[in-house]
Amino acid sequence: MLLSEMITSLDCRTENMKDTDISTIEYNSGKVVPGALFIAIRGEHHDGHDFVVDAANRGAAAVMTERRVEISLPQVIVSDTRKAMGTVARTFYGSNGMLKIGITGTNGKTTTAFLIHSILDEAGMQPALIGTVYYRGKTTKKAVMTTPESLDLFKMIADFRREGSRAVVMEVSSHALSLHRVDELRFKIAIFTNFSQDHLDFHKTLEEYRAAKMKIFSLLENDGCAVYNYDDPVSREIERLRLPHRITYGTRNRAIVLAELLQECADGLDIAILCKGEKSVIHSSLIGRFNIYNICAAFAAGIALNIDRATIVAGIEKLQRVEGRMQQINDGIFVDYAHTPSALQNALEALRPRVCGKLVLVFGCGGDRDKAKRPLMAQIASTGADVIVITTDNPRRESPRNIIRDIERGMTTENYVVIEDRRQAIEYACSQKGHGDVLLVAGKGHETYQIIGEQVVHFDDAEVIRECITRS
């Protein structure tokens, strides 16, 4: 595609303009090949403008920047390269022909995405999935981030379309909504699961965080449908948007998709869903009554897409588990991604009915992230667990000792020990687990790494637990 065609809708100025043919787009100079347009974006730790010369040396045909750079290549200068990247990516790769479902909210995005993916698969739509755990089309890749950069999204969607996918289910993070990663996408369904405290290191206030999440509804197609949790207080704010097409779900408050828990048992949940006068009974293998809301959200999405109810139910029941989400590793031992106060509370409450002895918890908090939630999670641990092992999560550049100290300030009981090394903490908890006890290792879930300083080292909670079981 010609450079002039790619930038026609941008508010920009140009230097050394030559209408060259562009073969691909990159924002990582290390991936630049001859004929590429290199886009210099500013990240948390690096500025792409510092790599323009490297991109040129690798054969870039043109560059996009936020300021003039001394270089002989054609240069497109815009006020915000991250925002402009989505525009040129849409022009270059397109996104038509794919039904897109976006899911935001503090908790439940991943499980809801997996449930909807299963429903669409049951409906024969060959769906793709983009989220915290996987990027899945015909092949499955471990996710790098919940919602990739706009350029990566459009590349993925183009690949999915070529593979025959008719729909893509996406988790949409508040970071993505704030950083323009999804500005150029339009969703057929936009889902808001719930809202509680998280990411205040980035958003600074709950109001700013909520506003970022709410932005998803501005990205609906003209006939798109909003789906949201009517039991969550944020629904009152969504109601004020007066969205023309919407489906509410919940367990009370006259939601359109209304769920009732029939039975919570060892192998999952039996629930009844009443929608528009029809009742559907579902058995789900997912553990924890909080999953009723995730199931409801998926059911509502299916209704919004006019999928028949038998297919919706079959799709929900087909999903056996979600990696790292209340995942049972062994009898009475669970791993969960719970890293927010509300998620940790949900996980502990879900496991309490299974406990005949003690409920043992291993948890920590991430470094360089929302510090205000550390004492809140400690308070929930204090009241929700019988034995607590405080450890590291992903400390990143922050001192693990300082993080643990912040957690300890919120502890309201003395039923805890501190073991900074996460492997040793898990090993200790496994050794302490007795007959009738239940162990929850929380915070990292599906992750197979730990970030310590600048290093990313292999670490898998489930793997460590299995090693402990083998040795015992």
Q: Could you say which DSSP state residue 216 is in?
A: G
Pick the CATH number of 95-318 from 3.40.50.300, 3.40.50.150, 3.40.1190.10, 3.40.50.720: 3.40.1190.10
In angstroms, the CA 174 to CA 107 distance is: 12
Domain boundaries, the chain: 3-92, 95-318, 327-471
Q: What is the pLDDT of residue 207?
A: 86
- Please give the CATH architecture assigned to the domain spanning 327-471: Alpha-Beta Complex (3.90)
The amino acid at residue 111 is T
Question: Could you tell me if 71 and 169 are in contact, meaning their C-beta atoms sit under 8 angstroms apart?
Answer: no
Whole-angstrom distance between the N-terminal and C-terminal Cα of the chain?
A: 62
Give CA 120 to chain center in angstroms: 19
Query: At 295, is the secondary structure helix, strand, or coil?
Result: helix
Q: How far apart are CA 372 and CA 370, in angstroms?
A: 6
Burial 256-267 (b: 16+ CB within 10 A, else e): bbbbeeeebeee
Neighbours of 272 (CB within 10 A): 13
Which string of DSSP letters, residue by residue, matches 343-386?
HHHHHHHHHGGG-SS-EEEEE---TTS-TTHHHHHHHHHHHH-S
**Which one is the CATH code of 3-92: 3.40.50.1970, 3.50.50.60, 1.10.3720.10, 3.40.1390.10?**
3.40.1390.10
The structure's pTM equals 0.91
Tokens of 464: 């460590």
327-471 has the same fold as 3-92 = no
Q: Which two tokens stand for residue 378?
A: 């400690």
Residue 199 has a pLDDT of: 66
Over the chain (472 residues), the average pLDDT of each successive run of 10 is: 93 93 96 97 89 96 95 96 96 89 95 98 97 94 92 96 96 93 96 82 80 95 97 94 95 92 92 96 95 97 98 98 93 94 94 95 93 95 97 95 96 96 97 95 95 94 95 84
Q: How far apart are CA 78 and CA 76, in angstroms?
A: 7
Residue 369 has what pLDDT? Answer: 87
The CB-based long-range contact list for 303-310 (8 Å cut-off, 24+ gap) reads 303/247, 303/257, 303/275, 303/276, 304/188, 304/189, 304/225, 304/227, 304/245, 304/247, 305/99, 305/188, 305/189, 307/119, 307/120, 307/123, 309/275, 309/278, 309/280
Show Cβ contacts of residue 110 under 8 Å, excluding neighbours closer than 6 positions.
131, 132, 133, 171, 322, 325, 337
**Residues annotated in the binding site, as ranges?**
29, 105-111, 146-147, 173, 181, 369, 393-396, 443, 447
Count Cβ atoms within 10 A of the Cβ of residue 380 and give its class: 0-12 exposed, 13-18 middle, 19 or more buried. buried
Burial class (CB in 10 A: 0-12, 13-18, 19+), 142: exposed
Q: Residue 40 has what pLDDT?
A: 97
Cα separation of 348 and 450, whole Å?
A: 23
Annotated binding site for ATP: 105-111
For the record, the structure tokens of 205 come out as 């206030």
Q: How far apart are CA 129 and CA 270, in angstroms?
A: 26
> Packing angle between helix 81-93 and helix 150-163, nearest 10 degrees?
20
**Residues 6+ positions from 63 with CB-CB distance below 8 Å:** 37, 38, 39, 40, 52, 55, 56, 69, 71, 73, 74, 75, 76
Q: How many CB atoms lie within 10 A of CB 338?
A: 28
Task: List residues forming the annotated binding site for meso-2,6-diaminopimelate.
Answer: 369, 393-396, 443, 447
